[in-house]
Amino acid sequence: MEETVVFIDEGFLDKLSKLFGNGIRLKFDKFEFARRIAEKQNLICKRLFYYTAPPFQGTPPTKIEKKLKEGYDKFVSSLSANKSISVREGRCQRILNSNGEMEYNQKGVDVLLTIDLSHIKEDFPEVKKVILISSDTDFCPVIRDIKKREGTEVILYTYFDRKRRSKFCLSNELISCCSKCFKITKQDFDNAPLI
């Protein structure tokens, strides 16, 4: 079987996990999840790139912020112990939204994923197909570029609900620029239990 590299946009996968868990994050093995998704395409997951951002830390951080960061550091450390996983970290931005509530957003994560996708041929010359787990149309330019320039096939695993302006509304542009598109199911999470 051919080898592949799997790219996971954690922000997207976290929202999907909470949807399938009825508001509670599902616990699952990230590498096993990637391995089984690759297996569905008759591919072997050579490497998982996992894109995330640490929780926001104020100056000075609150007790809650410190506790969240400790949990996050422990999680990243356990992921990084698997030499087949590369954790790439952006940052977390806190802003006051128009309703007067604090809103938290990942920053820099998409750029890191785009850089890694654009270097796929240099870093993994034998890989001809990659798997992207996301729903973000920001990746369309790099997907088109690596398909045209390098002939790399991008297989999209995503989720959508066909409701306008929902957090799972998916652009046809992302679907059309990828070679294939598959919908993630709750069974995909269940097939990767955390041991």
Residue 106 belongs to some domain of the structure? yes
Instruction: Please say if the pLDDT value at position 94 is more than 80.
Output: yes
Tell me the pLDDT tens digit for each residue of 41-63: 999 999 999 999 999 999 999 99
Number of domains in the chain: 1
Instruction: Please say if the pLDDT value at position 90 is more than 90.
Output: yes
Tell me the pLDDT tens digit for each residue of 150-178: 999 999 999 987 666 666 767 789 999 99
Instruction: Please say if the pLDDT value at position 26 is more than 90.
Output: yes
Per-residue pLDDT band for 67 (boundaries 50, 70, 90) equals: very high
Residue 105 belongs to some domain of the structure? yes
- In 3D space, the residue among 4, 13, 5, 41 whose CA is nearest the CA of residue 136 turns out to be 13
pLDDT of the residue at 164: 65
Range of the domain at 53: 2-190
Tell me the pLDDT tens digit for each residue of 100-155: 999 998 999 999 999 999 999 999 999 999 999 999 999 999 999 999 999 999 99
Residue 35 belongs to some domain of the structure? yes
Residue 163 belongs to some domain of the structure? yes
What CATH number is associated with residue 65?
3.40.50.1010
Whole-angstrom CA distances from 141 to 98, 135, 154 are 31, 14, 12
Residue 183 belongs to some domain of the structure? yes
Helix H or strand E segment including 73: helix 63-80
Residue 195 belongs to some domain of the structure? no
pLDDT of the residue at 42: 98
Residue 125 belongs to some domain of the structure? yes
Residue 72 belongs to some domain of the structure? yes
What is the pTM for the complete model shown? 0.94
d(CA 17, CA 159): 11
